[in-house]
Amino acid sequence: NAGVMQNPRHLVRRRGQEARLRCSPMKGHSHVYWYRQLPEEGLKFMVYLQKENIIDESGMPKERFSAEFPKEGPSILRIQQVVRGDSAAYFCASSPYGREQYFGPGTRLTVT
Amino acid sequence: RKEVEQDPGPFNVPEGATVAFNCTYSNSASQSFFWYRQDCRKEPKLLMSVYSSGNEDGRFTAQLNRASQYISLLIRDSKLSDSATYLCAVKGGSGGGADGLTFGKGTHLIIQP
């Protein structure tokens, strides 16, 4: 049973470009969460989704960030017009019942 | 007061020793509690959930004290491979909304041969 998959593992973007991060949950998991870990900081919750629905986006920055989890395909975290402060590791987690969360390997975004 | 607080360490412990960490949380309405370990620049791996009655998994024991709002992790007979950062996570803290996890910054453990 494959774990949570994320791609790309590393992403380099220039300031002003868009970043798209993808996450495929573990088989049978319908709950997806996105977290961000800034250098030397703890993990911060961003958004919680189920298929076709955003359940809780209380941790998402108000501008430039969006997330979706379509009926088919992976969950996508999209960052428009990236700035240097967006450089971080972005982790996706999935859960079968909304309790224990299992993390993917993360995408390391570097904005130059 | 921070949502979830941990002593950052590092804890330097000889191989074979017993080590314990605490984690305090501020939101009394928090519902679920977990310990994760994170190796350098890798993803957090779920170590164990923490239940009200306390629970054990091999060399690891977790306890929850709701009255004092802390959870603990005890590692017995520590191994070199236990060296990692241990993250406390709370569900239902305001930092994670109702469903996301609120993490502490972690306690760094170094097991020395």
List pLDDT tens digits, range A46-95: 999 998 899 999 999 999 999 999 999 999 999 999 999 999 999 999 99
Q: Which long-range contacts (CB under 8 A, 24 or more apart) does B39-45 make?
A: B39/B84, B39/B85, B40/B85, B41/A89, B42/A105, B42/A106, B43/A91, B43/A103, B43/A104, B43/A105, B43/A106, B44/A43, B44/A91, B44/A103, B44/B87, B44/B89, B44/B103, B45/A103
CB contact under 8 A, A101 and B101: yes
State how far Cα A85 lies from the chain centre: 16
Predicted confidence band of residue A1 (pLDDT cuts 50, 70, 90) = low
Cite the beta strand spans of chain B per DSSP E: 4-6, 11-14, 19-25, 32-38, 45-50, 55-57, 60-65, 70-75, 84-91, 101-103, 107-112
CB nearest A56 (choices: B34, B41, B97): B97
The reported pLDDT for the residue numbered A98 is 79
Residue B94 has pLDDT above 70, yes or no: no
Q: What is the mean pLDDT of chain A?
A: 95
CB contact under 8 A, A100 and B101: no
List pLDDT tens digits, range B1-60: 678 999 999 999 999 999 999 999 999 888 899 999 999 989 999 999 998 889 999 999
Strand partners, A1: none
d(Cα A42, Cα A45) in Å, to the nearest integer? Answer: 10
CA B73, B94, A55 angle in degrees (round to 5)? Answer: 110
Six-digit token string for A29: 């998991």
Nearest-by-CA chain B residue for A48? B100
Contacts of A95 (CB under 8 A, 6+ apart): A29, A31, A33, A101, A102
| B97 or A91, higher pLDDT | A91
CB contact under 8 A, A105 and B43: yes
The reported pLDDT for the residue numbered A41 is 84
The reported pLDDT for the residue numbered B41 is 81
Predicted confidence band of residue A39 (pLDDT cuts 50, 70, 90) = confident
CB contact under 8 A, B46 and A33: no
